Structure 1
Amino acid sequence: MEYNVSSLTALQLIVDSGLLILIWLVQLIIYPSFRYTENNQFVAWHGRYTALIGLIVAPLMFSQVGVEVAFFLGQDPRWNRILIILAIWTATFGLSVPCHNRLHRQGKELITLKRLVTTNWIRTLCWSLLFLETVLISDGNFF
């Protein structure tokens, strides 16, 4: 399968940049701010947040996977990136989503909020590593 490496790398840079910025905002501002939401408004606000953030995160995560699939099908598998992305998906659906589901069912629980923030460091570090690798492996050749 033929593919344009520079176009894929440019797309990868855009997606990785978006996820890097988003995850650090979530980690340092959004998740910690959950503590300050009024108890009686938390479930409704949290439901709105998760629905809206999903509209941003899901396309970026699927795009990130799509780029790696294109490289893989082009006989250029990048196993480090694939493993990091698998770690992100595992942390997302094994740790973050269950915390969000519990918060949506039970309401604001400080122990669940703390677990969400603590376990989200996995995704924060992994997406940071992917961004750094994108910059390093591209050698400045994005277009």
Structure 2
Amino acid sequence: MELSQLFLLLWAGLVFWVLGQIWLVQIVVYPLFAQVGEAEYVGYHRFYSRRIPLPVIIPGFSSFILPVALALFGPAVPFWMSAANIATGVVGLLVTVLLEIPRHARLEKGGKNNATIAELVRFNWPRTLSISAQSVIALLMLIHVFGVA
């Protein structure tokens, strides 16, 4: 197996990991924010924020940035696959930095705010869909490179 193929396999594993996470966040974790009481909310959010870097933030940001490296150092795939993979990573990155992080900061400082929680859930949909698209692209890349068994 070539190094470029190994890179693709590692990429696919990462993006499928992030796919599971983003759907759990979209369907369970963010909606659960609204179920926490006001008095406990800041402590709850701080607890959440301290524990997500390793399992969520690092893989998530990696899935936004690594498509560029995969296009440069991964196996040969059709141009549209690499371009779409990079574009979906950019969408995820922009949603995270411009929409989600500021709302998390508001919740952590200001406490429970149902309007902000609703925005967090609503604005997470483009990121959820972009990561879902990345997963489909990763699967198509795997089929292209390794063929169908």
Q: What's the TM-score, normalizing by structure 1?
A: 0.88
Structure 2 equivalent of residue 86 of structure 1: 90
Say yes or no: does 1:58 pair with 2:57.
yes
Taking only aligned residues, the RMSD between alpha carbons, in angstroms, comes to 2.1
Q: Which has the higher contact order (CA 8 A, sep 6+)?
A: 1
Matches for 1:1-143 after TM superposition, within 5 Å: 4-64=3-63, 65-66=65-66, 68-72=68-72, 78-139=82-143, 141=146
CA distance in 1, matches of 2:92, 2:23: 14
CA distance in 2, matches of 1:73, 1:59: 21
Q: Would you say the 8 A contact 1:8–1:67 is kept in 2?
A: no
Aligned to 2:98, the other structure's residue is in SS state helix
Q: Is there any run of 5+ residues in structure 1 with no aligned partner, and where?
A: none
| Aligned-residue offset at 1:132 | 0.7
Aligned to 1:10, the other structure's residue is in SS state helix
CA distance in 2, matches of 1:34, 1:16: 25
1:58-107 Cα offsets, whole Å, 9 max, x none, are 32134332353143256967221111101101000100001100001110
Identity percentage of aligned residues: 27
Aligned to 1:36, the other structure's residue is in SS state coil
Q: Is there any run of 5+ residues in structure 2 with no aligned partner, and where?
A: none
CA distance in 1, matches of 2:26, 2:61: 21
| Aligned-residue offset at 1:136 | 1.4
CA distance in 1, matches of 2:5, 2:129: 25
1:24-69 Cα offsets, whole Å, 9 max, x none, are 0000000001111111111011011022112222321343323531
